[in-house]
Amino acid sequence: MKKLIMVLMAGLLLASGVGIYPQVGHAAIDYSGGYLDGQPYNLGSDENTIKTTTYLLTDNNEATSVTMSKWVSSGTTDLDHAIKNFGTAITVNAFRLKASANMQIYFYDEANKNILVNGIGRIDVPTSQTDGSLVQIPPTSGIRKVVLFNPSTTSSVSVSEFQIYNLSAPAAPILNASPSNSKVDLAWNGVSVATGYNVKRSLTPNGPYTTIRSNLTTTTFSDADVINGTTYYYIVTALNAIGESEPSNEASATPTASPILNVVIENEKIKVGEQFTSDIVLENVSNIYAEDFKIDYDSNLLNFIGFEEVPGYKIYNQPTDENGKLRFIIASHGEQYGITGDKVFLKLKFSGKAKGTAKVDALECRIADTESEYDLNEDSCLEDSIVIEGIKDVNRTGEYTLVDLAIDGFYFGKTVAQTDLSKHDADQVEDGIVDDNDLVFIVNEILNNPNYPLNA
């Protein structure tokens, strides 16, 4: 079945005028694409005597083989010649041979006259070239008959495959380049005779070019070694055993960063009850005058206190907190407040409700300039998080009282190392010393403690 499929595919492609060309440098050798795909060879005792016919030399299958007997000068029954005749003259410039020993190849013209190659009437193929590798020869024309010969007078040779080609250098591909964030995607048409492609790049139009990928076997490539805002110029060349094509058209692209709706929390951690601000930032944009977006926050760990408008940007809907989800529709106030580059245009206020790591997440966003509006994809809507620590009062009772203030009054002016760390957390603001900053913090926490009697 394998042989039949390969023969049928080769026949269909050849009938449609599309060539199959041998591949270079592949472990599994492809012998197809030559004159002999699925064609029969005649076996005989000399180039004019036919004893039998075989397809095993041209089935593109190294698992099948023909045994060619040793050469007997006066023999008439030995099979030391494999002969193929052609109805019209052909030109050959390469061959592949898979055999167990050295062999010889002969070409004959219409008059059955031996054709010289490199000044002699045969090609001597050493064992170093009988491994199926592609061997190039000077272009040899007018061939009407090809003969493969076992010159050994002492031993037979096992031959798996023999193929001859007339290869041509590939045509130049047609190249397209598409920029995106920190990447340029290249795509080009497949060239029928190509076995690989080189991708070349320059920072200036028309070169000079540097090869950034060699012998690609695909017709696409993504160049991620780029800097946003820089214009790159590309060409692609096609390769085969004959050589390299002329360059493709030059395609240029300038990668740019994608617009981002970012959430930025300056604090890394807070205590329960402590407030913080989350900045809403639009990045990598140009002349944006309106935004419509949704924010999701962890309502189990955070309380939403409200928002602070940034001058030049006004909220025009009524944001409603729906179990940790908020929506804002904002417009700029004047031409000078169009957002270009990066800009904080809203501040959200939260406080810690419970211990844990809380997120503030931008879920969806649509932005608009004065001509079009754009949806930001999920990867462009970012988030930030903050660690909320539980109450850590001075004497570790779980709430702030006047006793905490008294203890820090006792330690006032001392370093952390001079306090009793086994009992007390006197350095409440964590600056290495017990001072007014710690006492002010404790007083504020006392005032915020609903269980403290004087707060009733």
Give me the CATH number covering residue 159.
2.60.120.260
DSSP class of 49 = B
Regarding whether 331 and 218 lie in a shared domain, the answer is no
Predicted structure pTM score: 0.52
Give the residue from 253, 275, 301 where a domain finishes. Answer: 253
- Stronger pLDDT, 13 or 117, i.e. the higher one: 117
Question: What confidence score (pLDDT) does residue 454 get?
Answer: 93
> Cα angle vertex 65, ends 59, 70, to 5°?
135
Q: Are residues 160 and 20 in the same domain?
A: yes
Residues 20 and 122 in one domain: yes
Q: Which residues pair with 163 in a beta bridge?
A: 96
Which of 386, 359, 384 shows the shortest CA–CA distance to 261?
384
User: What pLDDT was estimated at residue 353?
Assistant: 87
Q: Give the three-class secondary structure for 382.
A: coil
In a domain? residue 8: yes
Whether the per-residue pLDDT at 120 is higher than 50: the answer is yes
User: What residue numbers bound the domain in which 430 lies?
Assistant: 402-455
**Residues 20 and 160 reside in one and the same domain:** yes
Residues 243-282: tens digit of each pLDDT = 899 999 999 999 998 899 999 999 999 988 889 999 999 9
Count of CB atoms situated within 10 Å of the CB of 60: 24
Overall average pLDDT of the 168-172 stretch: 89
Q: Any residues with CB less than 8 A from the CB of 120 and at least 6 apart, and which?
A: none
* Banded pLDDT at 134 (limits 50, 70, 90): confident
394 falls within a domain: no
Checking DSSP bridges between strand 269-271 and strand 383-389, what pairing results, if any?
parallel
Amino acid 233: pLDDT: 98
Q: Is residue 338 part of a domain?
A: yes
pLDDT exceeds cutoff 70 at 2? no
Co-location of 244 and 99 in the same domain = no
In which element (H, E) is residue 410 found?
Answer: helix 402-411
Regarding whether 136 and 57 lie in a shared domain, the answer is yes
Calculate mean pLDDT across residues 146-163: 94
Q: Are residues 203 and 118 located together in one domain of the fold?
A: no
Amino acid at 308: E
Q: Who wins on pLDDT, 368 or 170?
A: 368
Neighbouring residues of 113: CB distance < 8 A, sequence distance ≥ 6: none
Is residue 364 domain-shared with residue 328, that is, in the same domain?
yes
Please write the tens of the pLDDT for every residue from 354-369. Answer: 889 999 999 999 999 9
Q: Is the peptide bond before 173 cis (omega within 30 degrees of 0)?
A: no
Summarize pLDDT for 23-55 with one digit per residue, the tens: 443 335 888 888 998 899 999 888 787 889 999
Residue 3 has pLDDT above 70, yes or no: no
Element (H, E) at 2: helix 2-15
Task: Flag whether pLDDT at 6 surpasses 50.
Answer: no
Query: For residue 78, what pLDDT is reported?
Result: 80
Orientation of helix 402-411 relative to helix 436-447, angle to 10°: 180
The mean pLDDT value of the chain amounts to 90
The reported pLDDT for the residue numbered 28 is 55
Answer yes or no: is pLDDT of 407 > 90: yes
Question: Are 396 and 425 within 8 A, CB to CB?
Answer: yes
Residues 31, 142, single domain; the answer is: yes
Residues 411 and 358 both lie in one domain: no
What are the C-alpha distances in Å from 81 to residues 54, 69, 433?
A: 12, 9, 100
Instruction: Mention every residue, 6+ apart, whose C-beta is less than 8 A from residue 54.
Output: 40, 41, 43, 66, 82
Nearest one of 355, 426, 343 to 387, comparing CA atoms: 355
CA 432 to chain centre: 49
- Kindly report which listed range (64-78, 176-190, 400-414) carries the lowest average pLDDT score: 64-78
pLDDT at 437 over 60: yes
170 domain residue, yes or no: no
Per the structure, the count of domains in the chain is 4
Residues 248 and 265 in one domain: no
Contact yes or no for 315/328 (Cβ under 8 A): yes
What's the one-letter identity of residue 206?
N
